[in-house]
Structure 1
Amino acid sequence: MPSLPALDADRWMDRDSAQSRPSRSLSGMAVAARRAPKRLWRVAVTPPGVMTLVSFVCVLAILAAGGAMVYSSTVRQNEVNTLITQTEPLADSAQELFNKLSVADSIATTGFLKQGKGNNASQVEYSEALRDASEAILRASHGIQEVDSREMEITLLIQQELPKYITLVAQAQTNDRVRNPIGASYLTEASALMQGTLLPNAQELHLLTSRRVSDQQAQLVTPLWFPLSGLAAAVIILLIVQVWLAAETHRRINVGFVLATALMIVALLWASGSSALTWATSWQKVDGTVRPLQELTQARITAQQARTDEALGLVQRDYDERRQNTYSQRIAQIGEALEATRDDVDSPARIDNAREALRLWDSSHASTLYQMQNGNFNEALQISLGAEGDATSSETNFEILDSELQELISEQRDDLRVVLNDVRTSADRVTKIVTFLTVIAALCVIAGTRPRLQEYV
């Protein structure tokens, strides 16, 4: 029997070796995996391993502190954007809604007292006020994010009740054209709906949105304490590590760590200074803007209420003591608001004009009331409504007062937006600078550690 070649004879050994090699490889990997923690520990407890681990902790602390500051500044920018684009416009829409509803009621009431051309002009103004009120409702509803919130409930209620008011006013005007006395009753019912349901809800909406604006503004000017403490902690860690390195390597200064510490101190001082400056200046500016804005808005609301109640007393030919006391309280509140905000507004002259118009309105009201008490209704009506261009009538001076208040409110809103934009710019600047400084500081730590590690090679 011929013998096999040596290669063929030994092939079974090659096959066995080839089959057994993977099993030995897997076994070796398992052994290596079990031994890896011990090897890592042996490396970690060596001077180079400890130095590497300490450097890694420093880099992690720097990046974490910088990341926290960047994240907080970014969140603040988003909050400012939300306040500028949603919350503050919603509060303004609520304020505008109240005023337009009040204007519509006032015009409907005073227009009911007019005849001829004056009544036609009042009808145009009344339609414009209702249109503006409807637009304000739409803007307010679009600005409300939570469907189940009280704000949305109020806007839906106003949308449901406003058509009822419009219908009652239309019935009052129709009956008045044919000299039917029942027109006054329809107007009284319409005004009661406005004063008892629509305006109180609109005022509540304004208060809710204004409070939200105030709360968000207070949060925006609060210093970022947590990320600032992170930057301070990173600086402390770097200082401690430098002392340890000096003792470990017998060198007093590590240039990389010194530069990293200096950069983190600059980042800490920059962020702290920016936060302190924003807190000091913006808090004062916000308080000097929001408080007058709220007081002037409330003064305009109060003026609208006083004028509507005054006109309704003429329609009903009844101005009793209760109504007069309410009117006097409202006039006093308006005067106090104008006095309190004079030094905080950009245009004190407008405050002076408003106060003079308020004084002339109150004087005209006193004359109107005197004529009514003496049974001279036509004279009282003439004093209250006045002829076109009459500078002493209640209507003329009320319109001057309302116009000045409206302009003052617009100016305060512009100032508020400037303050908010400054806060947003400051937050954006802090984000960019801290990001740059922390990244460079982390690289400096790595650069400062590398030469010391090479000494052990």
Structure 2
Amino acid sequence: MVSSLQTVEVSPVAPREVVGWLRHYDWGTMPGKLRVIQVVLVLGLAIAGAVGVYAAIARVSATVDIAEHLEPLNANVTTLYRSLADADATVAAGYLSGGLEPTEMQIRYGRDIEAATASLAQASTQTDGELVTAKRIADITSELPTYTGLVERARVNNRQGLAVGVSYLRRASDRMQDAILPAAAELQRRQATRLDDAYHRAGSVHFVALAVGGISLAGLIWAQAFLFQRTHRVFNIGLVTASGALLAGLAWWTIAGVVSTNSLDRALGHSQSVSDALAPAQIAALQARAVESLELVTRTAGPNEPDFDAQMQLLDRDNGAGGALGAAQHFATDQQGVGLVREAVTDARDYVAAHRQVRQLDDAGDYTQAVDAAVNPHHPGAAATFDRLDLALTAAADHERAAFTGDIGGAHSWLTGLPIGTGGLALVAVVGVTWGVQRRLEEYR
């Protein structure tokens, strides 16, 4: 078999066609310039839309994280902290009654332990993998049964009239003050830090998104001026549509950003009022109350009185100018909030005066009257004034929480739809540029 080698000649493409194709996209020609303008504007608008959507999603996500995750966890931790401190104060006051504690004190102690247990259970499902937070919750969960066990031993011995019950009560209180409450305090501090970070993310102004959008708008204006100079046509419907869509997006971004940031700032103030002022005020008051009761139980006022004074200094200094209540007045943003805090300041002052009367009675040897003033809510003494203080602090905290709910909801409502709206307006702008420039290109065919 003989194979032959064939040579195939490839005729060159006509130079005229290549040159014509190149000239069609040559920057020096009007069609080429229009193509470049079209590509640059489309890319700029696409980038502006992508950056805007990403930034909007980040803000919405942070706001939702605050409202649905971090703030509920913070509220659980605050409830946990307060319930534990109240349980310790209640059981010490109940012990003073001798024998069987009053029914209302038993109910209050049981309610506190149930609330603490429920808060621990809820908080354990909301840690979001945060190891230190989970560890502190586990520490409190493991310590709480030990505390309640010591309390029950103290109660049993007290009902039998055995003095050893005081020792169990002291051990239970030491366990609460030295192990459980410090863990709850650290848990609360960590949650406050996480909340501050989330507020920063939710309220941060994304200057990159605004800058890219502004540059794209400037490009659109320049393109329309360029076309007017070349074609003497005042409007290009596509570019005008794109400019309107982009301008609407920037306006939406700016207004929603400013209003939502203001709402977030107010929400942060209400949240800080509870976590940084009113909750510490409640804890300080409850710990002072526990010290007062333990002084009478153990008959050791001298060594413990500085602890009472220290807690009351944390609560209030200089008649509301300092301490936790001073901070609460600083955070309060309306007349009702200020009024509730001032009421607590008055109640704190009255409680200190009532405590001094308890100490005077005890020091004078009138132990029975001192105990009655300390634990009888119907006596115009420490028990009644403390209950008023506790109610005032609770009312102030509830007011701030309600205000927080309104403000965080307002911030979220302003951001709702911003990611989809940003993307949709960017798409309208891209289509407008593509169509508007394409109409001018068709005139050169």
Q: State the TM-score, normalized to the length of structure 1.
A: 0.85
Distance apart, 1:317 and its partner CA: 0.6
**In structure 2, C-alpha distance between the alignment counterparts of 1:376 and 1:432, rounded to whole Å:** 73
- The equivalent of 1:325 in structure 2 is 306
Distance apart, 1:314 and its partner CA: 1.1
- Given the superposition, is the C-alpha separation of residues 236 and 172 from structure 1 closer, same or farther in structure 2, using an over 3 Å criterion? same
Cα distance per residue 1:43-95 (max 9 Å; x no partner): 43254244224213212321321232123212221221111111001111111
User: Map of 1:44-59 to 2, 5 A cutoff?
Assistant: 44-45=25-26, 47-59=30-42
User: Map of 1:31-42 to 2, 5 A cutoff?
Assistant: none
- Given the superposition, is the C-alpha separation of residues 341 and 57 from structure 1 closer, same or farther in structure 2, using an over 3 Å criterion? same
- The one-letter code sitting in structure 1 at the alignment partner of 2:434 is I
Greater C-alpha radius of gyration = 1
- The equivalent of 2:3 in structure 1 is none
- The equivalent of 1:288 in structure 2 is 269
In the alignment, is the contact (CA less than 8 A) between 2:260 and 2:412 conserved in 1? no
1:341 has 2:322 as partner: no
1:221 has 2:209 as partner: no
- The one-letter code sitting in structure 2 at the alignment partner of 1:270 is W
- The equivalent of 1:380 in structure 2 is 370
How many residue pairs get aligned? The number is: 425
Distance apart, 1:283 and its partner CA: 5.2
- Given the superposition, is the C-alpha separation of residues 374 and 227 from structure 1 closer, same or farther in structure 2, using an over 3 Å criterion? same
- Given the superposition, is the C-alpha separation of residues 415 and 268 from structure 1 closer, same or farther in structure 2, using an over 3 Å criterion? same
**In structure 2, C-alpha distance between the alignment counterparts of 1:384 and 1:65, rounded to whole Å:** 67
Greater shift in the superposed pair: 266-275 or 240-249: 240-249
- Given the superposition, is the C-alpha separation of residues 40 and 219 from structure 1 closer, same or farther in structure 2, using an over 3 Å criterion? farther
1:111 has 2:124 as partner: no
Structure 2: runs of 5+ lacking an equivalent: 1-5
1:256 has 2:245 as partner: no
Cα distance per residue 1:112-163 (max 9 Å; x no partner): 111366434322221221111100111111110115x111000101111111
Structure 2 counterpart SS, 1:114: coil
User: Map of 1:28-177 to 2, 5 A cutoff?
Assistant: 43-45=24-26, 47-115=30-98, 118-146=101-129, 149-177=131-159
- The equivalent of 1:369 in structure 2 is 359
1:389 has 2:378 as partner: yes
- The equivalent of 1:311 in structure 2 is 293
In the alignment, is the contact (CA less than 8 A) between 1:76 and 1:424 conserved in 2? no
Structure 1 counterpart SS, 2:301: coil
**In structure 2, C-alpha distance between the alignment counterparts of 1:308 and 1:104, rounded to whole Å:** 9
Greater shift in the superposed pair: 233-242 or 223-232: 233-242
In the alignment, is the contact (CA less than 8 A) between 1:364 and 1:394 conserved in 2? yes
**In structure 2, C-alpha distance between the alignment counterparts of 1:256 and 1:131, rounded to whole Å:** 66
Q: Percent identity?
A: 24
**In structure 2, C-alpha distance between the alignment counterparts of 1:359 and 1:241, rounded to whole Å:** 72
- The one-letter code sitting in structure 1 at the alignment partner of 2:163 is P
- The partner residue of 2:169 within 187, 190, 195 is 187
**In structure 2, C-alpha distance between the alignment counterparts of 1:180 and 1:350, rounded to whole Å:** 44
- The equivalent of 1:209 in structure 2 is 191
Cα distance per residue 1:20-64 (max 9 Å; x no partner): 9xxx9xx99xx99xxx99997554325424422421321232132
**In structure 1, C-alpha distance between the alignment counterparts of 2:18 and 2:117, rounded to whole Å:** 72
- The equivalent of 1:444 in structure 2 is 432
- The one-letter code sitting in structure 2 at the alignment partner of 1:94 is V
Give the CA RMSD over aligned residues.
Answer: 2.8
Structure 2 counterpart SS, 1:185: helix
- Given the superposition, is the C-alpha separation of residues 277 and 85 from structure 1 closer, same or farther in structure 2, using an over 3 Å criterion? closer
Q: State the TM-score, normalized to the length of structure 2.
A: 0.87
Structure 2 counterpart SS, 1:176: helix
**In structure 2, C-alpha distance between the alignment counterparts of 1:189 and 1:340, rounded to whole Å:** 33
- The partner residue of 2:279 within 263, 272, 297 is 297
1:198 has 2:185 as partner: no
Greater shift in the superposed pair: 253-262 or 170-179: 253-262
- The one-letter code sitting in structure 2 at the alignment partner of 1:373 is D
In the alignment, is the contact (CA less than 8 A) between 1:151 and 1:208 conserved in 2? yes
User: Map of 1:262-281 to 2, 5 A cutoff?
Assistant: 262-279=244-261, 281=262
Structure 2 counterpart SS, 1:143: coil
- Given the superposition, is the C-alpha separation of residues 37 and 174 from structure 1 closer, same or farther in structure 2, using an over 3 Å criterion? farther
**In structure 1, C-alpha distance between the alignment counterparts of 2:66 and 2:164, rounded to whole Å:** 48
In the alignment, is the contact (CA less than 8 A) between 1:221 and 1:282 conserved in 2? no
